[in-house]
Amino acid sequence: MSDATEERYGEWISVRRHGSHVAELVLDRPKAMNAVSTEMADRLADACAALAADRAARVVVLTSSHERAFCVGADLKERNSFSDDDLRRQRPHTRAAYTGVLELPMPTIAAVHGFALGGGFEIALSCDLIVADRTAVVGLPEVSVGVLPGGGGTQLLPRRVGAARAAELVFTARRVTADEAHRLGLVDELADRDGSDGSGSGDGSGGNAARTRALELADRIAANSPVGLRAAKRALRLSQGLDLRAGLEVEDAAWRTVAFSGDRAEGVAAFNEKRTPDWPGE
């Protein structure tokens, strides 16, 4: 994707634009394996706020510039110098970062290459889809250092794998390699080194296959109605935990925001005229 352009949010976060509608949100603190410091958390929140307001962005892909890690979680070197008051003051900053990813209104895909641990895995869990390659190692090891997953892990992981499996993973603090992570549903797709869907025998070396595959998925998703995509995400997210009747009401409300939109009119017209839709995005 040679047409990518880049915007910086401080030293450690960047947003690359691929064409008009795919935004790649890059964790770019390679000297610390993307450990999330207070400054990095603030800039991640800033980037998410800008993307949330960007009507042109139809899909966001979260990636890493580090060759061996997506993100290793909280910056424990920074925290080692914290007093209790320092830690209390930092908490709103880190919550804003994780919430910023979780609340992005468009579909989001995490491309996990290498280590995604603690807060790093929680960033991935905050996305709608997780693509990993065979270098991936994921986990929530927080109880092993005297805390608990505080970036959404205790809530997002059970929604993916069920309460008992999530409890086992959180309580043991164990690391999970790519094949088991895929089998357990911790990640949604395994990509081989050629960027395929994991059906071959590649070992994930020779490049970031997760990023390649995630950007391919993003291109496919971005071809669809931006109004429809955002409404579908709302329906999927807001109905979690509701009974069927309440969930159907959430779906109906989301449907109404699309049914009378310019995108719906354009989609029907394009279908009947046998052409590619030119989505107005409203």
Q: How far apart are CA 265 and CA 129, in angstroms?
A: 29
| β-strand pairing of 13-18 with 5-9 | antiparallel
pLDDT in tens, 177-193: 999 999 999 999 999 86
Determine whether 146 is exposed, middle or buried from the number of CB atoms within 10 Å of its CB (0-12, 13-18, 19+). exposed
- Straight-line distance from the first to the last Cα atom of the chain, in angstroms, rounded to the nearest whole number: 27
Q: How far apart are CA 21 and CA 159, in angstroms?
A: 29
pLDDT at 35: 97
pLDDT in tens, 132-160: 999 999 999 999 999 999 999 999 999 99
Q: Based on C-alpha coordinates, what's the Rg of the chain?
A: 19
Indicate if 142 belongs to the active site.
Answer: yes
Which of 100, 114, 119, 139 is catalytic? The answer is 119
Which of 57, 69, 122, 267 is catalytic? The answer is 122
pLDDT in tens, 20-53: 999 999 999 999 999 999 999 999 999 999 999 9
Q: How far apart are CA 126 and CA 110, in angstroms?
A: 9
| β-strand pairing of 59-64 with 22-27 | parallel
13 vs 3, 109, 173, CA distance in Å?
19, 17, 28
Which of 45, 69, 74, 231 is catalytic? The answer is 74
pLDDT in tens, 74-123: 999 999 999 999 999 999 999 999 999 999 999 999 999 999 999 999 99
Indicate if 74 belongs to the active site.
Answer: yes
Q: How far apart are CA 87 and CA 123, in angstroms?
A: 20
pLDDT band at 200 (very low <50, low <70, confident <90, very high): very low
Determine whether 226 is exposed, middle or buried from the number of CB atoms within 10 Å of its CB (0-12, 13-18, 19+). buried
Which of 24, 142, 216, 266 is catalytic? The answer is 142
